[in-house]
Structure 1
Amino acid sequence: MGSLGDHAGGGNTRVIAGRYRLEARLGRGGMGLVWRATDLLLGRQVAVKELARDEALSDAEAEQQRERTLREARAVAQLRHPHVIVVHDVVVQDEHPYIVMELIEGGSLAGRLARGGPLDAHEVARMGIDLLGALSTAHEAGILHRDLKPANVLLERATGRFVLTDFGIAQLSGATTLTEVGSFVGSPEYTAPERMAGERTGPGSDLWSLGALLVTALAGESPFRRDSIGGVLHAVVYDDIRPPAAAAPLLPVVLGLLDRDPRRRLDAAQAEALLRAYVATGRMPDAPRERPGAVPPRHSVLPGRAGGPGRPGRPKRGGYASAGWELPPAALAGGRPGGRQGRAALIAAALAAAVTGAGVSAALLVGRDGDGARAPSSSTASPTPTVTVTDRSPGPSSPEAPQGYRIAEDPGGFALAVPETFRREPDGPGVSYVSPDGTYRIGIRQTGRVPGGPLAAQRRADAEGPRNHPGYREGRVTETTRNGRPAALWEFTRDGFAEGGKGGGDADGRRTFDLCWEEDGRTVDVWVSAPVADAAQARRYFDAAVDTFVRR
């Protein structure tokens, strides 16, 4: 959620929600203003992020973004980890959303690096351990950060605690996006190549960003910093990755996290083990050469140099730290081999998206505000991102389908976006759209009004969960809204089994996201279920379904 700015500003005596008195501006970024405030009810200091309205959006688009942001903020508020920002409250006043968070005295990592230069390797290793714990907690809850960068890491002055912030709100602003909403979100210098390619992403993409962040903290700037957005994209998806000499103490974990092939990239547990070993001994053990199911490493020299593309090359002077990696075919858009031409096409697509994105400037694309301060913005899970621009021409009441989705005009009197390959199946009193292998299931049910409304209905369902769902656990109900209407989000895990006898079982159980709201005198339930291991992708399908659902 919001990050604490590094510059104090003027005072303000506004009181929002009848409770939070805004007193001093702490910072301004692409997402809006961050205030120091007092919680008048509990008598404590808090930080309040006042989210800005993107004027390029229509009223309907702005409403949709606000609803998604508030829903994601409430989801993040359920996370409990000492290195994840605590979200106390989410309020709306005069149609402006505000996120109320714990106040971290000390500023951001970006400010620390700007004022004092790079950190020592021991402190960077400790930071990596803290952030890996925060990311693992979020990933287990099905939440991807997707914008890990120095501006979104806070350093508490009194304790030295690193805190990860700004989950879930990058889509409110074009300040750090390559294109408009639904296409690409994030800061290119810290964005994994598979996200640039528009491929399916998961927790590994956040780990790539952490690898780039570790290098930045050690060397003072991103390993992918270039003078133009085109240069940044080229560096991320094509150039040899050459960590600077300052990264040498943590080199195995840096190289392991910055593997362009997600199948070979270090996972969180491996990276944490390496960093803990360094903190304990002052030496970094070698990274595991292979992971179960990983493809063998494939190194090369720069195209055109001795050894030739695709042939093993001898490390240049400087040893392992200067050995280059070639982008494997699997990391290209669509997974197609293509060598130089494929990479060039990917970069061209990304550049086209960057140029076409309305109201986006190159300065903001590389993560800077107009005054030179890094923009503190971020994102969460959303429909699969892409660096191409989608041509949309919807009717006045038609939802828009993200790329890779289609609009299902259901005979039950509604429409919503579902992945192109999902098929419709009757499901008791409702209907489901199911992936070909049965792994994912999107369910829709419409009934009459229920006693007590959506919140009471979801609380009853949660209470009855152990009776209706074998192995019911981790259930929680969150009050929220949907298009201004009262709604309730129910999340839970149950034992895994093959739904409908057609696959989709999972030894770790299945995770369900279920939003209930009232509309036109009816109660609407939209839910998505998937194996726990695929919860992040399920959450993207869920967001797409909820955001595009319309009654006919």
Structure 2
Amino acid sequence: MSTEQSEPGRLLVGRYRLSHLIGEGGMGRVWQGTDELLDRPVAIKELTISAQLPEREITILRTRMLREARSAAQLSHPSIITVFDVVESDDRPWIVMELVRGSSLSELLKEHGALPPTRVAKIALQVLSGLAVAHQRGIVHRDIKPGNVLIAKDDRAVLTDFGIARLEDSNTQLTSTGNLLGSPNYLAPEQARGQLAGPSTDMWAMGITMYAAVEGKPPFQRSTAMATLTAIVTEEVPPPTSAGPLRPVLDGLLDKDPSRRLTVEEAVAMLHPIVVEGQAEEDGEATRVAPVAAGPVQAESTAEFASVAPPPGPGRRPVTRLLVPALLAVVGLVLAAALGLWLANGNASDQRGDAPVEPSEAPSQAPETVPASAEESIAADPTAAEEPEQEGDAEDAAEDTPMRRHEDPTGFEIEVPEGWELERRDNGVFFTNPEGGYLQIDQTDQPGEDALEDWNRQEGAISSNFGGYEKVAITRLDDDSLDLDDYVSAADWEFTFDGSQGRMRAVNRAFHTEEKGYALFLVSTEEDWETNRALLDEMTRSFEPAD
């Protein structure tokens, strides 16, 4: 294998021309280049090899680089680097990737210092959205750090460098004896002890990356790698001083017990309110809703997905775990925000804009959990979604489901199935289906003008933030059977996507009076969709807005 480095202007395999260097790391150099066949800019990774390396080490580097390409090529997500091609030249591989115009998070920190918590949350939310797709495919990154997070000029965060990634069921160690995989500052305690990496080690690295971004440096940084590893294993995480609303998330990610560490889904759920509230403050368009039962008036800028109570600190489990892991595994900031933008005057502002204004550091209010009576479960025929002739059976099952009346302190009323557990959060009211999925209800006193137009306008920007997103339909609701005649406009946005537990289906139903806007957001497994969709119709018919 050749050990020579390339020069600008070189043409690879008659197609990819090198232009100029844009980066250099332990495995090689990255060039900006041009795909002359398609006339598009690309990034090209070159494997650089020292002439002094033994053949075994060269083979390891080659295998590792090919693994990077294969790992990334399996994944499709806006926050994961896209691999276009892998070519051979000079008996070594070259990886052709999308060109992300911007800087790495590491470069941003060197140039600007620590970042505001809400901007860090926004970056982390995007990276976690991509990481969830990787974990779903059984791929563990194993080297998450600021240098491997690219920030595009449109503020898109992209996770790159899957060079030491591996499948969870693989024990392959692509390194020399005694060499550690990954960067010492970002290794989890269990990795420092020699244990294999898993999804939880990626979550630790995400926590350290966020800590470094908000504090300016990683918590265990020492003068030598050995001192760093010793500190990771033996010392507690120094409390962050600038994390503000990120503190509970960092505490949950940096739990030294991997079994108690936050999962991707839980971290996403906790970050959403931070990002959405920060975006609302930046836009100056946060909408207030009526107070909940003697509590303070709460911001309702957008419809968000279920969050969890902040973890009580390292060494203890969070009081409330995630409601629906299958949904949140693939949800990014843009989706959660857009589902409620219609509620806030239909303002489809770009969620990838400049860094949001840092919000108040007041601690989040823990959710109030109210167990429902008569724990009935709703079970649908698993073949209902595949056999149209069973639609009537689903409607019959929904009509026969025992319901209870929920009179919300904010004024609206709705009938929900018995056994669905109520949780009240700052970002809405949730009813969790014990069989999987949930209903979220959001409201605003400043509704948009037309639900259908806003759903159609937002769909294009949002779909790319879902793994496997497929639109089913965006339709105006004019079904007399739903008793929506008293509303100004009503529309459904229905779609499917890949959740961490399989294929999921969702519908966001928006309707409004002149004074109040509401959204009923239902999530279900594909298998139970027909029955749950019929239940949504029943709940819609029973819904009464606040006076």
Q: State the TM-score, normalizing by the size of structure 1.
A: 0.48
TM-score by length of 2: 0.48
Q: Which has the larger radius of gyration?
A: 2
Larger RCO (CA within 8 A; separation ≥ 6)? 1
